[in-house]
Amino acid sequence: MAQQKKLNVLVAERNPLVISALRDMISRDERFEFAEGIQSGEAFIQAVVGAQPSFDVAIVAWKLSDMDASEVLIELQRRQLTARLVVFSNDHDVGILKQCVRLGAQGFCYQFDDPCILFDTLLAVANGRICIPYVDVGKINETPLSRLTTRELELLGVLADGWTNLQIATRTGISENTVKYHLKNLYDKLGVRNRAMAVALYASERKRGPQPIPR
């Protein structure tokens, strides 16, 4: 019987020590071959862009040196790229899991799971299946946008249209400082750090389906 080809696994993780630990684990399993370790989301995107990707499946940490896994997934969608990947999170927030699934992640594991769970997930994803922890599928499409008020959705919409803080202040009759205050609250609700991330999330959610009914 011919020997089964090993699966090449790329690891994207900001911590070199975690990359080293995963490399050691992978090298001890005859089903896998360690392909490469990288620390940034942009490096991962470039690995996917390559005409002949050097990996069959990837482990992508929730937090990378320049972005998080949701931003990686959004960027893959924006560039119309596909990659078989497993998000590897050290945060047990179920919101992260739901966000990654909505954005197209095929696999999801926690860093504190038994290694065999990670390997089983890698195998499933490499073979074209979805493998994620249990989550109430009835709530999987609850998005950050569904938590916004009518006014906050309007604010997010004008941000997406390219309005500056001064334009928003002038057209709504409030001060720029008040605009900044509302934007900070908006970013906190969306779980993003800045305007660009908020607009990217808004665009992604609009593309994926019907808009939430404002409260």
Q: Determine the pLDDT at residue 138.
A: 58
**Residue 119 pLDDT:** 96
Mean pLDDT of the chain: 87
d(CA 6, CA 123): 11
In one letter, which amino acid is 175?
S
pLDDT < 50 positions in the chain: 1, 209-215
Q: What percent of the chain has pLDDT over 70?
A: 89
Output DSSP code: residue 57: E
| pLDDT score of 131 | 95
- CA atoms within 13 Å, Cβ hemisphere of 28: 9
Every domain of the chain with CATH number 1.10.10.10 lies at 150-208
Question: What does the pLDDT read at residue 59?
Answer: 98
74: helix, strand or coil: helix
Nearest-angstrom CA–CA distance, 213 and 10: 40
Which pLDDT does position 178 carry in this prediction?
A: 92
**How far is it, in rounded angstroms, from Cα 186 to Cα 202?**
12
Of 15, 122, 21, the C-alpha closest to 64 is 15
Fold classification of 7-139 is Rossmann fold (3.40.50)
pLDDT at 46: 93
| Structure confidence by residue, pLDDT tens digits, 7-17 | 999 999 999 99
- Residue 137: per-residue pLDDT: 56
Report pLDDT for 215.
39
pLDDT at res. 94: 81
CATH of domain 150-208: 1.10.10.10
Whole-number Cα distances in Å, 83 to 23, 37, 50, 102, 212: 20, 16, 11, 15, 29
Location of each CATH 3.40.50.2300 domain in the chain: 7-139
